[in-house]
Amino acid sequence: MHLLSTKDLSKDYIEKIMAKAGEMEAYALKKKQSDMMKGKILAALFYEPSTRTRLSFETAMLRLGGQVISVADAQSSSLAKGESLEDTAKIVSQYADIIAVRHPEIGSSKKMAEGSSVPVINAGDGAGDHPTQALLDLYTIIKEKGQVDGLTVTLSGDLKNSRTANSLIYLLANYDVKFKFLAPEELKMKDEVKKFLSEKGLSFEETSSVEDGLSGTDVLYATRVQRERFKDAGEYEKLKDSFIFNRALLEKHNPKMLILHALPRVNEISKDVDDMPGAAYFRQASNGVSVRMALISLLLA
Amino acid sequence: MHLLSTKDLSKDYIEKIMAKAGEMEAYALKKKQSDMMKGKILAALFYEPSTRTRLSFETAMLRLGGQVISVADAQSSSLAKGESLEDTAKIVSQYADIIAVRHPEIGSSKKMAEGSSVPVINAGDGAGDHPTQALLDLYTIIKEKGQVDGLTVTLSGDLKNSRTANSLIYLLANYDVKFKFLAPEELKMKDEVKKFLSEKGLSFEETSSVEDGLSGTDVLYATRVQRERFKDAGEYEKLKDSFIFNRALLEKHNPKMLILHALPRVNEISKDVDDMPGAAYFRQASNGVSVRMALISLLLA
Amino acid sequence: MHLLSTKDLSKDYIEKIMAKAGEMEAYALKKKQSDMMKGKILAALFYEPSTRTRLSFETAMLRLGGQVISVADAQSSSLAKGESLEDTAKIVSQYADIIAVRHPEIGSSKKMAEGSSVPVINAGDGAGDHPTQALLDLYTIIKEKGQVDGLTVTLSGDLKNSRTANSLIYLLANYDVKFKFLAPEELKMKDEVKKFLSEKGLSFEETSSVEDGLSGTDVLYATRVQRERFKDAGEYEKLKDSFIFNRALLEKHNPKMLILHALPRVNEISKDVDDMPGAAYFRQASNGVSVRMALISLLLA
């Protein structure tokens, strides 16, 4: 079995992952040590640099008592030399017991899974999916809010291009969630996602007004608005500041708002937000280790 | 003791490696776990990227229960800053228990061995040698064919520049093998190698005709014909397709032909060959782990 | 607790490190194995390549029975994408139990320490400090000379820009040492350091004459004179050869001189010096492992 997209996951399996991640927390928080995966090897194949995600996967495997072989920058590696991803997977799956792959192309992890004789985890495939990030976001919501049903979740920023927002929505669609999409006109949520939600009978609201977007929000999932996404630089200049959240703004709407962010944060969230009780974006890091430990355990069970 | 070239190996020692690799197979195939090298460290120094070979070495050491320190891209590393290889070896051999080195210059692993206080394994030195690849090729031949004596082995493609073909011939010369060299005129086998075989009393046949080259072949060892080796682009265009082997062609000559390839394969071997019973190029990967486990064990014994 | 600069270290703590490094020597010399740090993870974050230092840290952690996650080249990594060092430290300190950071900016390790929830070791911050190198230099002096008090220590070469010379002086200032600074006019020791020594009541002598600099020297600490430091290329050409030390020159002044060098050595020290009894620069490598094992142990105790 592989983990390629949050679209493939049943609610049962999602809850199994959440429960397993809960069991792993003591190890991720360095309170307990484990030899569960002794003798097992994770291959971390990163065809584009993503230090945070790679180190999180490696930490997860090491905290399970396993070992790691890594490619940190596949551009300068022979993996890039015209070989098909299926061929690479045929080889690497003979070395490792499980593979985590990050690759700039949509669908790349699926191609790897086709060649691989061991489980493949998608660690981000271009503008496609990033299921382990979405699972750690979900885990963080459950941990911080106690439950998912009944929450109003606002996703903000570049919703058109964010694979993390995309992957999270398909997970949250298994729950009774009210979505709000807060994005500039140019970066609105993809039609495909909105169609999926409509078919599922889930309600969502779209707005480009920060005030409207934040009102009634329980959980804010912020992504960055990047200058290069705009054709018109003036348009960007006009908009960018409204998508910088500071403490006063967030507290006005909900002082207990849970604030998530797929790091790195540059300036989308002001430093004065860091001390708000719901600013969970740094606490997410150890949740990421718990969730990846859970996934490795489940896929290798 | 070091492993620098297949030229240095006696038949006795080759057979010792093969036997040891056989013992290691259960570990390489992930059926058994080992702590044989607990507390030992392999330094994998790759002065040019070679992901497959590096990951194979690292896997071998980890499956032996040892640990690894790595340089995956020595160009961006201080190892390149004008220091002599002897000096580098003096330092790194105080860190690690054994060194595997890949370097673009012929003779580089020998220089490292001169400075090192621990065993050095040549993991490829430019157009020189690649002894661990040749040993895993030999191991694959023995495993798939039962024996080496009596076989007709055809090496094809760029025989002038292939260090893997070069290293394999010096190994096979210890057995009763009939060689066929199938190469375009521009990429014919080096005189030095042919002279060595003549002196050893071993027969070889040279041809640029694919039909002649494949006739009577028990084992095909294919290497890539690269455009950049040709002065005349037209010459390359004329030749390249004749060195692409498909299933129909190979089956016509010998449906049980053993087909080896030092990966990555781009298009020298068509995808329809992959399902032939003798298409061993992907199975070679786990053999590589077995052989490298054997070498580390023997050199550190 | 962190290790950011040799300026922060009391003599008591320095001696504690030296004693601990002595205990670690049997492990660093591969004579004993340890599981002291089983289950602990070192994050080696190298924002500029420094293979020797990185491999030394990794070896230290592995010889302690711990594990390692690494960034070998942070330029091609997402760590460089505008995120603050405090933010990075907040994340990575949730993965690892201890962090070693190399970064081109002065003060960078201090910034990391501010965000980190685990100990941070400065593995070199630009022209700032390199405390682990200085500690291994001190350890080498004690091991080779028996004691530090009473020694005349000559630091030579580019004293203006050498963070290793800088860090060593602040360590040695805890002992009764006579300093000699041998440098071309352009590369003289910084005023800040000289002021510090004067305030401490420690004597130092400055010269650009190699003969004067070497006379009476017990310990020579050589650094490289780099062409790019000179505005006037002719000036460099005139000077460079006087800062190349050969055996005849060093033996004339003191055949038992202890010779240290922060490698890589290019040609500052001739090869014929390597066999002098006091040529300790290669022996320093295993001392580096001992000292880093000691630091990891003390900071995680």
- CA of A158, closest CA in chain B: separation in Å? 34
Q: How many CB atoms lie within 10 A of CB A213?
A: 23
Is the residue at A186 inside a domain? yes
Residue A274: pLDDT band by 50, 70, 90 thresholds?
very high
Looking at the fold, whether B248 and B144 belong to one and the same domain comes out as yes
Looking at the fold, whether B204 and B292 belong to one and the same domain comes out as no
Looking at the fold, whether A251 and A192 belong to one and the same domain comes out as yes
Looking at the fold, whether B148 and B123 belong to one and the same domain comes out as no
Residues 6+ apart with CB under 8 A from B18: B138, B139, B142
**Number of DSSP helices (H) and strands (E) in chain B, helices first:** 11, 9
Reported as a single tens digit per residue, the pLDDT across B38-48 is 999 999 999 98
Computed over its alpha carbons, how large is the radius of gyration of chain C? 19
Distance between CA atoms of residues B256 and B276, nearest Å: 8
**Exposed/middle/buried for C199, CB within 10 Å: 0-12, 13-18, 19+?**
exposed
- The pLDDT value recorded for residue B147 is 95
Looking at chain A from residue 251 to 270, which residues have their Cβ under 8 Å from any Cβ of chain C? 263-266
Looking at the fold, whether C22 and C110 belong to one and the same domain comes out as yes
How many domains is chain C built from?
2
Which is it for the CA torsion A186, A53, A109, A35, positive or negative?
Answer: negative
pTM above 0.80, yes or no: yes
Using a CB–CB cutoff of 8 Å, tell me whether C226 touches chain B: no
Looking at the fold, whether A145 and A279 belong to one and the same domain comes out as yes
Is the residue at C1 inside a domain? no
Looking at the fold, whether A103 and A193 belong to one and the same domain comes out as no
Is the residue at A148 inside a domain? yes
Name chain C's partners: 3 or more CB pairs within 8 A: A, B
Is the residue at C94 inside a domain? yes
Range A37-73 burial, b when 16+ CB lie within 10 A, else e: bebbbbbbbbbebbbbbbbbbbbbbbbbbbbbbbbbb
Distance between CA atoms of residues B119 and C272, nearest Å: 25
Is the residue at A234 inside a domain? yes
- The pLDDT value recorded for residue A61 is 98
Give contacts of A96 with chain B, Cβ < 8 Å: 59
Name chain A's partners: 3 or more CB pairs within 8 A: B, C
Q: At C213, which amino acid appears?
A: G
Q: What is the percentage of chain A residues whose pLDDT exceeds 90?
A: 78
Looking at chain C from residue 24 to 43, which residues have their Cβ under 8 Å from any Cβ of chain A? 38-39, 41, 43
Reported as a single tens digit per residue, the pLDDT across B282-291 is 999 999 999 9
- CA of A152, closest CA in chain C: separation in Å? 27
Q: Is residue A236's pLDDT more than 70? A: yes
Is the residue at A81 inside a domain? yes
In this complex, do A266 and C82 lie within 8 Å of one another by their Cβ atoms? yes
**Number of DSSP helices (H) and strands (E) in chain A, helices first:** 11, 9
- The pLDDT value recorded for residue A6 is 96
Q: List chain B pLDDT tens, one digit each, 301 residues.
A: 999 999 999 999 999 999 999 999 999 999 999 999 999 999 999 998 888 999 999 999 999 999 999 998 766 555 656 788 999 999 999 999 999 999 989 999 999 999 999 999 999 998 889 999 999 999 999 999 999 999 999 999 989 888 899 999 999 999 999 999 999 888 899 999 999 999 999 999 999 999 999 999 999 999 887 776 777 788 788 777 768 899 999 999 999 999 999 778 877 899 999 999 999 999 999 999 999 999 999 999 9
Which is it for the CA torsion B168, B173, B174, B175, positive or negative?
Answer: positive
Token pair for A78: 């022979």
Residue A68 domain boundaries: 6-129+285-300
Determine the residue among B76, B90, B91 to mutate to test chain C binding: the one whose Cβ has the most chain C Cβ atoms within 10 Å: B91
3-state secondary structure (DSSP) of residue C36: coil
Looking at the fold, whether C199 and C124 belong to one and the same domain comes out as no
Q: How many cross-chain Cβ pairs, A to C, lie less than 8 Å apart?
A: 65
Looking at the fold, whether C37 and C166 belong to one and the same domain comes out as no
Looking at the fold, whether B280 and B138 belong to one and the same domain comes out as yes
Is the residue at B124 inside a domain? yes
Is the residue at A1 inside a domain? no
Give contacts of C263 with chain B, Cβ < 8 Å: 83, 87, 91
Reported as a single tens digit per residue, the pLDDT across B46-105 is 998 888 999 999 999 999 999 999 998 766 555 656 788 999 999 999 999 999 999 989
The residue of chain B with its CA nearest to that of C60 is: B95
CATH code for the domain of B266: 3.40.50.1370
Give contacts of B289 with chain A, Cβ < 8 Å: 94-95
- The pLDDT value recorded for residue A130 is 95
- The pLDDT value recorded for residue B243 is 80
Ranges of residues in chain C with a pLDDT under 70 are 74-81, 228, 242
Element (H, E) at B155: strand B152-156
Cα of C190 vs its chain's centroid, Å: 17
In this complex, do A49 and C76 lie within 8 Å of one another by their Cβ atoms? yes
Looking at the fold, whether C41 and C106 belong to one and the same domain comes out as yes
Looking at the fold, whether B121 and B42 belong to one and the same domain comes out as yes
